[in-house]
Amino acid sequence: MRYLAPGSLKEALDILRREDDARCIAGGATLVAMMNADLVAVDVLVGLGRIAELSGITETDDEVRIGATTRHAEIAASPVLTGALGVVRSAAGQIAHPAVRNMGTIGGSICHADPAADFPAALLAADATIEAASAEGTRQIPIGEFFEDYFETALREGEIVTAIRLPRGPAGARGHHVKFSRVDGDYATVSVSAVLVMAGATCSYARIALGSSGPVPIRVTAAEEALVGSPLDQAAIAEAARLLAEAADPVDDVRGTTEYRLMLIPRLLARALNTLKDGETASV
């Protein structure tokens, strides 16, 4: 196996075009474990860590852009990810433990596309766009089209995720991510990501995504419609949860049975919405 460490995106894309069996490595938190377990064999590893243009968080009036190799820890501490984008910051802070958060990158997380991961649902709730580059050029992939199946994405051969673009969201929006895991630091048994706007006591905007509840993160517009116009009372939350659970297709595995996961959905939804409604994440 060869390890190449290009200094620019162009150089990395040229390597991917030229080499038959080349694969990117970002934080290595997942890929190295898979290689050690003989689940993946790679001829050429293309390290992304030296490519400065892939890292960091920048903002304009309209959006926040997170470079693909930005570490979870930096995202969890970012003062830029406020309002609606608190959902992404909150998800980053709940990934595993500090050692993994200091190593793993947001690009690596979404390219691995583990349905139990925290970013997929948070990015769906935040209405993200994934920017991907290849030797042929750059394209923008709406988050709803990025995850295709268990561990499968819309990325094509030779493409590198360069950034995650986050629109600022509606005025007054707040976002939050909640997860239930068996022990602290584990992947989610179920997670809920929510972005809300409250107009007084009434919900005027809701964007909700379920994680760890099927092969890809789940968003149900009818569930959001059940919340909008309501005071987020028990009846509205129960109806939204019913619609979300209907769309869920959770597995039966070591983190919980299908039945248990379905039971968690209304509880986690209520927890996320009540936290946002009470304004507890206003400063996040």
Ligand X SMILES: Cc1cc2nc3c(=O)[nH]c(=O)nc-3n(C[C@H](O)[C@H](O)[C@H](O)COP(=O)(O)OP(=O)(O)OC[C@H]3O[C@@H](n4cnc5c(N)ncnc54)[C@H](O)[C@@H]3O)c2cc1C
Residue 139 C-beta: closest distance to ligand X, Å: 13
* Contact residue for ligand X among 100, 135, 154, 228 (CB under 6 A): 100
Q: Which residues contact 193 (CB under 8 A, 6 or more apart)?
A: 87, 91, 121, 122, 124, 125, 126, 175, 176, 177, 208, 209, 210, 211, 217, 272
| First-residue to last-residue Cα distance in the chain | 43
Residue 209 C-beta: closest distance to ligand X, Å: 14
* Contact residue for ligand X among 70, 73, 118, 227 (CB under 6 A): 118
Residue 174 C-beta: closest distance to ligand X, Å: 21
Between 155 and 226, name the residue whose CB sits nearer to ligand X: 155
> Binding of ligand X at residue 80 (CB under 6 A)?
no
Pairing mode, strands 2-4 and 44-47: parallel
> Binding of ligand X at residue 160 (CB under 6 A)?
yes
Length of the chain as a residue count: 284
Residue 133 C-beta: closest distance to ligand X, Å: 9
Closest residue by Cα to residue 248 from 234, 235, 270, 264: 264
Residue 237 C-beta: closest distance to ligand X, Å: 25
* Gap between the Cα atoms of 112 and 106, Å rounded: 10
* Gap between the Cα atoms of 91 and 29, Å rounded: 17
- Binding span for ligand X by CB under 6 A among 8-16, 81-89, 93-101, 214-222: 93-101
> Binding of ligand X at residue 73 (CB under 6 A)?
no
* Gap between the Cα atoms of 88 and 107, Å rounded: 13
By CB under 6 A, what part of segment 182-241 binds ligand X?
A: 187
Q: How is residue 271 annotated by DSSP?
A: H
Residue 249 C-beta: closest distance to ligand X, Å: 19
Between 189 and 275, name the residue whose CB sits nearer to ligand X: 189
By CB under 6 A, what part of segment 21-50 binds ligand X?
A: 23-31, 33, 48
**Residue 147 phi/psi, 5° resolution?**
-90, 125
Residue reference for tokens 């007084």: 200
The tokens describing 187, both together, are 């992947």
Where does this chain bind ligand X (CB under 6 A)?
A: 23-31, 33, 48, 68, 95-96, 100, 103-105, 107-109, 111-112, 117-119, 160-161, 187
